Amino acid sequence: MKRIAVYCGSNKGGRPEYAAAAQALGALLAREKIELVYGGGMVGLMGIVADAVLEHGGHVIGVIPEKLVIKEVVHEKLPDLRVVKTMHERKAMMAELSDGFIALPGGYGTFEEFFEVLAWSQLGWHQKPFGLFDVGGYYHHLLEFLDHTAREGFIRAQHRDLVLAEKDAERLLRRMKAHLPPAEIKWVR
C-alpha cells in the first residue's frame, strides 16, 4: 500500500488515548513509508495524525474544500495541499488517491466519509481495504450494530466483514495488507 486515507475527528475527543492513537498511527504510517491522505485540517485528531507523520519523516497529502481554507482550520505546513471546490470532490479525490482507508474515532464527518467509500466497495467499484481503529473500544457499539444489520439481512456477511476492526494500529495495518476482497459484490435483494 502506497497511500492510506485516514478519516478522523476534527475534535480530539474526551480521553487522551484518542490523541495518543492518532500519534501512533501517524508514526506507523511514516515508518512503513505509507503516505497519509486526509482532510487537510490542523484541528483535532486530524492535525495530530498529520503532524505525527511529518515528524517521523513521512509524506502527507491534504485534500480540503475551499470553504474550509480558513486560518484556524487548514494545516499550513503540509508538503502537498490540494484545494478542491466541494466536499464531494474532496471525498472522491481522497478515495481515488488511496489504496486503503482507516477511520480513527470521530463524529458525523468521519462516519460519513468512511461509510461512503465502504458502500462503493460493496458495489464492487473498488477493492481497497477498510480499517476501523477501535481505540479503547470507541467503536464497540457501532460494530455490534453492523452485526445486527447483517443478522437482519441488510448487509451481507461478507460485506460486514469488509470492516476490519482492531484496537492496535500495527495489527490493523497488518490485517489490511493481508485483506482479500470478497468475490460477491451484489446487494442483498
Binding-site ranges for ligand AMP (CB under 6 A): 7-11, 39, 41, 43, 46, 64, 68, 73, 106-110, 113
Q: 116 or 166, CB closer to ligand AMP?
A: 116
Q: Least CB distance from residue 72 to ligand AMP, whole Å? A: 8
Q: Which residue is nearest to ligand AMP (CB)?
A: 109
Cα separation, 59 vs 29, whole angstroms:
9
Q: Least CB distance from residue 88 to ligand AMP, whole Å? A: 12
Cell triple for residue 83?
484545494
Q: Least CB distance from residue 11 to ligand AMP, whole Å? A: 6
Residue located via cell numbers 495488507: 177
Q: 90 or 156, CB closer to ligand AMP?
A: 90
Q: Least CB distance from residue 112 to ligand AMP, whole Å? A: 7
- The full 3-state SS of 5-58, as one line of letters, equals EEECCCCCCCCHHHHHHHHHHHHHHHHCCCEEEECCECCHHHHHHHHHHHHCCC
Report whether 100 contacts 117 (CB < 8 A): no
Q: 72 or 152, CB closer to ligand AMP?
A: 72
Q: 107 or 137, CB closer to ligand AMP?
A: 107
Cell triple for residue 42?
490542523
